[in-house]
Each structure stands twice: as C-alpha cells, then as structure tokens.
C-alpha cells in the first residue's frame, strides 16, 4: 500500500515539554478501515500522540498527514476544527445544555444536510429516537454512544479515542467496547485507540502499537506482540510472563524445564519467555520445586513456584484442583508452538 493510500501518516514526530521528550521520533502508518490501539504505561507519550494528531498540541518537528492533507509540519499547522480527525475524549465532553441531537450536530456547522446526517449516525450507534434527550438522562453506555456519533458525524478520515471506556464499570465496559467496534466496522471507519489496558488493546486492535518513553517498541498484530514480543518490556507489559534461562542450540533451548522449541535459530545463553497458561504445575512429593504463593482468580488459580535455582515461575490450575502453599511440585511446559527467546548479552 502506497503512502497516498494511508489514512494517517506520521514521520519522525517529536514533542518535548522542557527537557523531557514526550514523543521521540515517532513514525506510524494507519490503513483505511483499520483499528489501531496505542498502548503503554502512564507517561509514555500516548496522550501527547493523540493530542498532536488531533491538533490540540503543536509538534516540535516531523510531519503528520491525516486524510489527504498534511496537517502538521515545519511550515504547516491545521487547527483541530479543520482536520479530518474526530475525537472521543476520556470524559466524553458532551455539552450538558444540549440534547443528544444538539451534541451530534455541533460538529456539522458546514454540513448542508445536518438533520439527515444526525439521524443517520444516531441510528448507526443505536440511539435512533433519542435525539431529544439530554446527557444526564442517559446511561453511561448511551452517553458513550452519543460521543461516538458526534465524532463520526463529520465523516472524519480517522477517529481518535482517548481511554474511551475507562469511566465505565468492568461489565459495561466490555459491552460498550464491543458495540463501539461493531459501529466502526459498520461505518468502515478508521480508529486509533489510546489506552493503558492491555486486555483491551489485544481484544480490539487489528494492530497494537506498544509505546514506551515516547517511542514505539513494537507495532504488529495482537497475536504477534503477545506471542512474539520484540523485547522483555513488550512481553511483560502485554501479560504475565516469566523467563527461564537456557542454552540455545539451533531452534531448541535446554532449560531447567526441559528442552523447549523457540523461534529462530541461534546459539548461546538466552532467556525463554513462558506465560502462565503454558506451564503445568503438579503436586509431586519427589518434585524439586516449591509452591510459594497462590492467587484465586475465579475459574483458575495462579500458582507461584520457586524452582531449584531460586527463580520463580507462574502456572495455572483449575480452581477445583487447588494445591496448598508449601507443596512440593513438578513444573513442565505445555506448548505446541515455538516460544520466544531473548539472547543474554
């Protein structure tokens, strides 16, 4: 796909606040109809990235193109209201004195068919017939839909979402998230989500961009960033991960848990990533590992196990088969796919 076919293009974007770089040479391509999730810890620069794309923050250098036009660059700064960028803010930012229809139509000042378009997007988000209600008369999920309708109404090239579901309780969050994705797919809209929620990133993203200290550590499909992380930061940020030492020969690594298959060939000492679901922990009076702690998680129990070399790994057992802390156990890897190994340098 050529650059002209992309919906959003960032090249070497930089932004500092004083001596602190918030964006440190960020480049990114977003495809039409793609849902991209930017995920990272607090302070990594993801909100600054959103604000720079939306035009709420001026960048120091680099270029940003949204839709067909460059909107930020050495000699360019297009104000937010003239960019083809819609935004759903964390607090939704609905106008309390305007009804639902008034909130949606607010961004359509230059749209000749405002009433038709308002009805169209309200139907799209499942709020047809509620245009006369005010925000305080709606549930949290319904207010979220109004914010989405308002962002989609001007037909932007891309819609940005700033921690859009963080204000909702856990059960409602999953429902609203699923509906939001359905609406975006139905509208063939392009969306960029900013979040710190790893599960959310993996669930909704066509691609996931993992950010740290103003840079992208890895941008790829959810399955790849989870199973083949670029480094240990990505591995641990996107889920629980432990690392067992071993000696690699070709695509096999000899570890305290046996010989394990890994991606790529190589030689020398390395650390093999294992996630809890890839380890089986069994009670074994003759085992050389010890169960040191358990965490009840409803359907499963997370087991912390100390290996003979003093390192700790975690495994999962069904809640119906718990083990007492202090038990002697044996640990084995249960994998039917290659694992990721990081060289020890």
Fold for domain 3-84+156-237? Rossmann fold (3.40.50)
| Domain limits, the chain | 3-84+156-237, 242-343
pTM: 0.90
> Among 3.20.20.70, 2.40.50.140, 2.102.10.10, 3.40.50.11390, what is the CATH number of 242-343?
2.40.50.140
Same fold, 3-84+156-237 and 242-343: no
DSSP 228: S
Q: List, as one string, the DSSP characters of 151-199.
A: HHTT--SEEEEESTTTTS-HHHHHHHHHHHHHHHHHHT--EEEEES-HH
Q: What is the pLDDT of residue 255?
A: 93
Pick out the chain residues at pLDDT < 70: 1-4, 109-111
Paired residues of 211 in beta bridges: 216
| pLDDT the model gives residue 166 | 83
pLDDT of residue 1: 58
What is the predicted pLDDT for the residue at 111? 65
User: Using one digit for the tens of pLDDT, what is the confidence trace for 277-322?
Assistant: 999 999 999 889 999 999 999 999 999 999 998 889 999 999 998 8
Question: Residue written as tokens 């358990």?
Answer: 294
192 backbone dihedrals φ, ψ, rounded to 5°: -120, 115
Distant-in-sequence, close-in-space partners of 39: CB < 8 Å, separation ≥ 6: 46, 194, 195, 196, 197, 198, 200, 201, 208, 209, 210, 211, 237, 238
Structure tokens at 52: 């720079």
Q: Which residues of 237-273 are buried (b: 16+ CB within 10 A; e: fewer)?
A: bbbebbbbebebeeebbebebeebbbeeeeeeebbbb
> Which pLDDT does position 296 carry in this prediction?
95
Tokens describing residue 259: 């010989």
pLDDT of residue 76: 95
For β-strands 85-88 and 158-162, DSSP reports them as parallel
Q: What per-residue confidence (pLDDT) applies to 176?
A: 87
């Amino acid at each position: 796909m050529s650059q002209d076919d992309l919906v959003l293009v960032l090249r070497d974007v930089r932004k500092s606040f004083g001596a602190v770089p918030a964006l440190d040479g960020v480049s990114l391509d977003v495809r039409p109809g793609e849902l991209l999730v930017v995920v990272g810890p607090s302070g990594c620069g993801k909100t600054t990235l959103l604000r720079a794309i939306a035009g709420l923050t001026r960048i120091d250098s680099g270029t940003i193109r949204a839709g067909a036009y460059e909107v930020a660059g050495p000699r360019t700064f297009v104000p937010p209201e003239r960019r083809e960028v819609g935004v759903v803010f964390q607090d939704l930012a609905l106008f309390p004195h305007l009804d639902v229809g008034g909130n949606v139509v607010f961004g359509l000042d230059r749209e000749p068919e405002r009433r038709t378009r308002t009805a169209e997007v309200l139907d799209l988000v499942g709020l047809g017939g509620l245009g006369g209600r005010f925000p305080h008369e709606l549930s949290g999920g319904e207010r979220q839909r109004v914010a989405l309708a308002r962002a989609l109404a001007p037909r932007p090239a891309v819609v940005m979402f700033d921690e859009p579901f963080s204000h909702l309780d856990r059960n409602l969050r999953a429902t609203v998230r699923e509906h939001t994705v359905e609406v975006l797919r139905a509208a063939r809209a392009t969306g960029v989500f900013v979040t710190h929620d790893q599960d959310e990133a993996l669930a909704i993203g066509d691609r996931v961009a993992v950010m740290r200290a103003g840079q992208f550590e890895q941008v790829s499909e959810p399955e790849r960033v989870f199973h083949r992380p670029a480094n240990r930061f990505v591995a641990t940020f996107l889920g629980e991960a432990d690392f067992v030492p071993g000696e690699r020969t070709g695509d096999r690594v000899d570890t305290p848990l046996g010989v394990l298959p890994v991606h790529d060939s190589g030689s020398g000492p390395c650390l093999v990533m294992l996630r809890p679901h890839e380890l089986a922990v069994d009670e074994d009076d003759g085992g050389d590992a010890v169960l040191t702690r358990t965490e009840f998680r409803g359907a499963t129990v997370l087991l912390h196990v100390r290996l003979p070399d003093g390192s700790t790994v975690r495994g999962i057992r069904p809640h119906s088969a718990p083990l007492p802390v202090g038990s002697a156990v044996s640990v084995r890897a249960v994998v039917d796919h290659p694992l990721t190994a990081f060289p020890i340098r």
